[in-house]
């Protein structure tokens, strides 16, 4: 398993950036219910329409940010997985090329 991690080394910054984007997307997903509770507890209970619109706009911004982070993480992960597969196939092919063609029977 640790040998396989070595194939990720050329893309280590992309892997780290992917993890950051996934983390930020998770934070945005977890923050949205908090904002909704603020709308209900403060905006709806007190009839404060400007507050509802302001926090609703913030919810929209947070949701769009989460979507952008999710798309960026998926794009980076697909690039890293493609590079990982290409490198692994190349290494396996080079290893098989070194096999002897002599029969052992």
Domain assignment present for residue 43? The answer is yes
Domain assignment present for residue 54? The answer is yes
Predicted pLDDT of residue 105: 62
Predicted pLDDT of residue 11: 86
Predicted pLDDT of residue 98: 85
Does the pTM exceed 0.75?
Answer: yes
In three-state secondary structure terms, 104 is coil
Predicted pLDDT of residue 19: 96
Domain of 72, in residue numbers: 31-88
State the Cα torsion 46-49-51-56 to the nearest 10°.
120
State the Cα torsion 19-24-30-33 to the nearest 10°.
-160
Domain assignment present for residue 42? The answer is yes
Closest CA relative to residue 36, chosen from 53, 51, 56, 11: 56
- Which helix (H) or strand (E) is 100 found in, with range? none
pLDDT in tens, the chain (105 residues): 777 777 778 888 999 999 999 999 999 999 999 999 999 999 999 999 999 999 999 999 999 999 999 999 999 999 999 998 998 899 899 888 888 777 666
Number of domains in the chain: 1
């Amino acid at each position: 398993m640790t040998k396989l991690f070595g194939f990720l080394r050329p893309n280590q910054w992309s892997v780290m950036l992917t993890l950051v984007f996934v983390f930020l997307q998770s934070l945005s997903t977890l923050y949205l219910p908090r904002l909704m509770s603020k709308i209900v507890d403060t905006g709806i209970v007190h009839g404060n329409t400007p507050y509802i619109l302001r926090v609703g706009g913030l919810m929209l911004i947070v949701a769009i940010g989460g979507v952008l982070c999710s798309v960026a993480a998926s794009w980076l992960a697909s690039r890293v997985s493609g590079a990982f597969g290409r490198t692994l196939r190349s290494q396996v092919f080079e290893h098989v090329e070194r096999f002897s063609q002599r029969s052992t029977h």
